[in-house]
Chains A and B, each alone.
Chain A
Amino acid sequence: MTADLAATARTVGAAAAAGARLFPRGAGRWWPDVPEGAEVLDLSPFAQVARFDAADLVATAGAGCALDRLAVRLASGGTWLALDPPGPVGRSLGGALSAGGAGPLAAGYGPPRDQVLGMTLIAGNGTVVRIGGRVVKNVAGFDLAKVVVGGHGAFGAIVETHLRLRATPEADRSRAWAGPLESVVAASRALLEAGAAPAALEVLSPDLAEGLGTAGEWVLALRAIGTRPAVEEELETAALALQSLRACREVALPRDVWERWREVVGSWPIVLRIGADPSSWADAVALAERHLGLLEGASATVPRGTVRAGTRALEPATASSMRAEAARRGWPITLERAPARTRSAVGIWGGMQPGPLRLTRALRDTFDPAGVFAVPLLA
């Protein structure tokens, strides 16, 4: 199949008119299966880097680009994209942006939406819309891309994106400290209080840490990216702050720990993302354990308070009681990855107040009036 935008848009329009349902798919590496009764809308042919302006730190890449291949291309021009979602490295750009799946780098560079300057989208009525632009600052018109990134494909099929790049850094180094949960909580707090502003500050549960080839304890991993002296100093300052705390001991990290993080977290059959607070990530982990029992693993992006919990099975009743408890603390829970059956039974989103729920539904109807995209946003 070739990357024919007009033809793909016609397919969407025709499906909408016929009352059919489509499942937008990039590399097919994230959602494990296709929902019943839906046809795949294959976006993998849109895999070109149509423009790459290295000096301006902007690239235009097709949604079907595999993230690893895109990274190689960007590196050839001395640039990189601060997007490290869980999942295999061959995961598609469009899929990663649709899922809004921030990785540890969101601590320093913001979530996926911050890396997107604009995009071409096929909306649910088959119309091709070009949103945003190709420059790093832009307030012309309403920021529609915000709804699409993290919209799980329910607001349209992303075909192409304009991306904000960074210059390849001189240094990229990580250090880690391990200990019991309370010590890692104290350590993470101490680093935030010491004004740490790292590229990533991620807590790994013992099983996850072990899977990544480091200590089988709670691990706090810090990643610094930038010029060499700045990186050394960030790591050294953290080490000093933790030394005086004496809570954790330093442990070695494998060189490819962050790639492995993506693989391992991306291999959990069901992934829930909890929007807790930087100071309460451990409470969110506890909440997940209380409702889900033994986890596949947990990972917390400390500066943002985002916790990912992996599990094997999720019953709708469990999900709703978990969401209800989280909602009492003001935390949303997104079902980031699950088999189609679980997705439709549980809903990708839930526990919302009536106002945002109504607006979310209304926006979906606007972008996809016929409901052509088979994405169970809400149970």
Chain B
Amino acid sequence: MLADELRRIVGARFVRTARAELATFAADGLPTHRSTPGVVVFPGSTAEVCAVLKLLSERGVPFVARGAGTGLSGGALAEPSTVLVTLTRLARIRAIDATNRRAVVEPGVVNATLSRAALPLGLMYAPDPSSQTACTIGGNVAENAGGPHCLKYGVTTNHVLALEVALPSGELVRLGSAAGEPWGADLVGLFVGSEGMFGIATEITVGLVPVPPSVRTLLADFATLRGAAEAVSRIIAAGIVPAALEMMDQSAVRIVEESVYRAGYPTDAAAVLLAEVDGRPDGVAAEAERAASICRAAGARQVREASTAAERERLWQGRKKAFGALGRVSADLLVQDAVVPRTALPDVLEAIAAIAERHRLRVTNVFHAGDGNLHPNLSFDARDPDALARVEVASGEIMRACVAAGGTITGEHGVGLDKIDYMPLVFGPDVLGLMAAVRRRFDPDERANPGKVLPVSQCREWRPWSAT
């Protein structure tokens, strides 16, 4: 039996087949999809990952990699015919090289753990998803994760220098070079964001950035969403590159303020902006002053600056834990993800509000305004089939509105299972065909995370990628 063969590789304790245990892995952070894997295996070394994949390759069995399972697009879900390869045992930081500002980590290292480890050396790992206390760097690589501070520092792909990857055949390959210069085609850049469909990242070399000597955090509150969105565009047009520029609408503010994560946000504001500038002290002071006056000119009722580290922490806690707070006000929460050009934010936010109203859904916006990355969150109860159906329809309409405004269907959570149907909104059949062909170069049998990202069955119009 396959499970026995897997046990011989990783040890009996690290293979799970009992129904109750498998049920723990039937979902990720996306509430609309569930699927129970056939077997869950926890390799404890790179050699074990390779041996597991080799065995699965010989048996022709599909597999899905899994980190912490915090993904929001159903990417880490596996079917009963599929083996789930969970990487949480590979959680060592192998090296931190302060001189060259980089670290070598195993895929199961939790994002925040790396930054904590680098801090005494005056360095940090910049991509900071709101889930950073749980999600893994392997999962971040697969999704090309972002976070509030990615506005200034860039997303995961901008920080991954080199990779060691176990291909679906079990072969181990090293991609790129330690300092980030591609070695041949930019295979590292291609792998990041491939959602577990090219193989399993077993070692990741990431760049670290100096911890900024000075940070200033502002909270601006606005009587209108439009005013807040206008402030965002003006700050960036002024040549200020804030470390973060996050927006929360009134619904989000109220929910946070009613929760244990209370941050002292004004509950009567239509929207609040959390703006952070960092760098050297004089420059930061001047930029914070400028950003504050731009907010005021754009109609901010009040601009408050965090005066202590604790206050700053509190302002951020409200933002970073907003999803947690939202999760408590309804049975289920769909954290949507889309991107629009910054200047389209006010119109698109209005369109989203209208869509939610039409479908009798509560929508709450907590998002990375600086780069136009929206998170309209839909609260519902998945046990109510009608509500679930309305959520699906509203999500589709939101995606269409964002694409019509010149945007795209996902900025950081990935396509996974959730957004496959929307892929034809942004890509023609030729490029989808090319993506499938590229994937087969890594995974000829299409066994790595099957059924994700590419709308194979739905896109009948796909043109096979032919020689001429």
Chain A interface residues toward B at CB < 8 A? 13, 16-17, 53, 55-58, 78, 100, 110, 113-114, 123, 125-131, 133-144, 146-147, 149-151, 155, 166-170, 189, 192-193, 195-197, 226-234, 237, 273-279, 303-306, 330-332, 334, 349, 351-353, 355-357, 359-360, 362-364, 366-367, 369-370, 377
Kindly list 7 other residue pairs between chains A and B, CB separation below 8 angstroms, not including A140-B419, A228-B286, A331-B177: A123-B434, A137-B412, A146-B186, A227-B283, A305-B100, A332-B177, A359-B441
The 8 Å CB contact of A57, one of B180, B213, B236, is B236
Cα-based distance from A277 to B281 in the complex (angstroms)? 29
User: Which residue of chain B is the closest to A149 with respect to CB atoms?
Assistant: B186
Interfacial residues of chain B within 419-468, with CB under 8 A of chain A in the complex: 419, 423, 426-428, 430-432, 434-435, 437-439, 441-442, 453-454, 463, 465-468
CB distance from B277 to the nearest CB of A (A): 9
CB distance from A375 to the nearest CB of B (A): 12
User: Are B407 and A363 in contact, CB atoms less than 8 angstroms apart?
Assistant: no
User: Which residue of chain B is the closest to A127 with respect to CB atoms?
Assistant: B430
User: Are B282 and A139 in contact, CB atoms less than 8 angstroms apart?
Assistant: no
A129-B431, A136-B371, A170-B239 known; A55+B343 contact, CB < 8 A: yes
A56-B341, A229-B282 known; A356+B179 contact, CB < 8 A: no
CB distance from B300 to the nearest CB of A (A): 19
Chain B residues with Cβ under 8 A from A233's Cβ?
Answer: 279-283
Cα-based distance from A366 to B406 in the complex (angstroms)? 29
Cα-based distance from A125 to B342 in the complex (angstroms)? 36
User: Are B410 and A139 in contact, CB atoms less than 8 angstroms apart?
Assistant: yes
User: Which residue of chain B is the closest to A123 with respect to CB atoms?
Assistant: B434
User: Which residue of chain B is the closest to A305 with respect to CB atoms?
Assistant: B179
A167-B236, A233-B281, A362-B441 known; A151+B368 contact, CB < 8 A: no
Chain B interface residues toward A at CB < 8 A? 99-101, 122, 143-144, 146, 150, 154-155, 157-158, 167, 171-175, 177-190, 192-194, 197, 209-211, 213, 233, 236-241, 279-287, 290, 339-343, 368, 371-373, 406-415, 419, 423, 426-428, 430-432, 434-435, 437-439, 441-442, 453-454, 463, 465-468
User: Are B180 and A278 in contact, CB atoms less than 8 angstroms apart?
Assistant: no
User: Are A349 and B467 in contact, CB atoms less than 8 angstroms apart?
Assistant: no
User: Which residue of chain A is the closest to B73 with respect to CB atoms?
Assistant: A139
User: Which residue of chain A is the closest to B406 with respect to CB atoms?
Assistant: A134
Chain A residues with Cβ under 8 A from B184's Cβ?
Answer: 332, 349, 352, 356-357, 359-360, 377
Cα-based distance from A349 to B211 in the complex (angstroms)? 35
User: Are B408 and A151 in contact, CB atoms less than 8 angstroms apart?
Assistant: no
Chain B residues with Cβ under 8 A from A304's Cβ?
Answer: 179-181
CB distance from B403 to the nearest CB of A (A): 9
User: Are A226 and B241 in contact, CB atoms less than 8 angstroms apart?
Assistant: yes
User: Which residue of chain A is the closest to B189 with respect to CB atoms?
Assistant: A146
User: Are B99 and A226 in contact, CB atoms less than 8 angstroms apart?
Assistant: no
User: Are A230 and B284 in contact, CB atoms less than 8 angstroms apart?
Assistant: yes
User: Are A197 and B341 in contact, CB atoms less than 8 angstroms apart?
Assistant: no
Chain B residues with Cβ under 8 A from A130's Cβ?
Answer: 427-428, 431
Cα-based distance from A128 to B282 in the complex (angstroms)? 50
Cα-based distance from A241 to B407 in the complex (angstroms)? 45
Chain A residues with Cβ under 8 A from B187's Cβ?
Answer: 147, 356, 359-360
Cα-based distance from A135 to B408 in the complex (angstroms)? 7
User: Which residue of chain B is the closest to A126 with respect to CB atoms?
Assistant: B468
User: Are B468 and A230 in contact, CB atoms less than 8 angstroms apart?
Assistant: no
Chain B residues with Cβ under 8 A from A136's Cβ?
Answer: 339, 371-372
The 8 Å CB contact of B239, one of A113, A133, A169, is A169
- What are 9 sample pairs from A and B whose C-beta atoms fall under 8 A apart? A133-B408, A134-B406, A139-B193, A146-B188, A192-B101, A226-B241, A303-B101, A331-B177, A363-B441
A134-B341, A135-B340, A230-B279 known; A147+B408 contact, CB < 8 A: no
A125-B468, A147-B186, A278-B101 known; A140+B281 contact, CB < 8 A: no
User: Are A139 and B411 in contact, CB atoms less than 8 angstroms apart?
Assistant: yes
User: Are A363 and B99 in contact, CB atoms less than 8 angstroms apart?
Assistant: no
Chain A residues with Cβ under 8 A from B171's Cβ?
Answer: 355
User: Are A142 and B179 in contact, CB atoms less than 8 angstroms apart?
Assistant: no
Interface centre among B175, B280, B419 (most CB of A within 10 A): B280
User: Are B174 and A140 in contact, CB atoms less than 8 angstroms apart?
Assistant: no
Chain B residues with Cβ under 8 A from A146's Cβ?
Answer: 157, 186, 188-190
A130-B427, A139-B414, A278-B101 known; A364+B185 contact, CB < 8 A: yes
User: Are B174 and A366 in contact, CB atoms less than 8 angstroms apart?
Assistant: no
The 8 Å CB contact of A55, one of B182, B342, B430, B437, is B342
User: Which residue of chain B is the closest to A189 with respect to CB atoms?
Assistant: B99
A13-B468, A78-B237, A140-B419 known; A56+B342 contact, CB < 8 A: yes
User: Are B286 and A55 in contact, CB atoms less than 8 angstroms apart?
Assistant: no
Chain A residues with Cβ under 8 A from B406's Cβ?
Answer: 134-135
The 8 Å CB contact of A332, one of B182, B287, B453, B463, is B182
User: Are A227 and B434 in contact, CB atoms less than 8 angstroms apart?
Assistant: no
Chain A residues with Cβ under 8 A from B368's Cβ?
Answer: 137
User: Are A114 and B467 in contact, CB atoms less than 8 angstroms apart?
Assistant: no
Cα-based distance from A149 to B146 in the complex (angstroms)? 22
User: Are B287 and A125 in contact, CB atoms less than 8 angstroms apart?
Assistant: no
Chain A residues with Cβ under 8 A from B410's Cβ?
Answer: 138-140
Cα-based distance from A357 to B187 in the complex (angstroms)? 10
Cα-based distance from A368 to B303 in the complex (angstroms)? 55
The 8 Å CB contact of A195, one of B155, B194, B213, is B213
Cα-based distance from A166 to B238 in the complex (angstroms)? 10
In order of increasing CB-CB distance, the 9 nearest A-B pairs are: A275-B181, A230-B283, A146-B189, A355-B173, A195-B210, A137-B411, A360-B184, A332-B183, A229-B286
User: Are A143 and B239 in contact, CB atoms less than 8 angstroms apart?
Assistant: no
User: Which residue of chain B is the closest to A360 with respect to CB atoms?
Assistant: B184
User: Are B438 and A144 in contact, CB atoms less than 8 angstroms apart?
Assistant: yes
User: Are A143 and B99 in contact, CB atoms less than 8 angstroms apart?
Assistant: no
User: Are A359 and B173 in contact, CB atoms less than 8 angstroms apart?
Assistant: yes
Chain A residues with Cβ under 8 A from B427's Cβ?
Answer: 130, 140-141
Cα-based distance from A288 to B188 in the complex (angstroms)? 26
User: Are B144 and A237 in contact, CB atoms less than 8 angstroms apart?
Assistant: no
User: Are B438 and A142 in contact, CB atoms less than 8 angstroms apart?
Assistant: yes
User: Are A360 and B185 in contact, CB atoms less than 8 angstroms apart?
Assistant: yes
User: Which residue of chain A is the closest to B240 with respect to CB atoms?
Assistant: A227
The 8 Å CB contact of A144, one of B154, B181, B435, is B435
User: Are B287 and A138 in contact, CB atoms less than 8 angstroms apart?
Assistant: no
User: Are B193 and A131 in contact, CB atoms less than 8 angstroms apart?
Assistant: no
User: Are A306 and B408 in contact, CB atoms less than 8 angstroms apart?
Assistant: no
Chain B residues with Cβ under 8 A from A151's Cβ?
Answer: 185-186
User: Are B430 and A168 in contact, CB atoms less than 8 angstroms apart?
Assistant: no
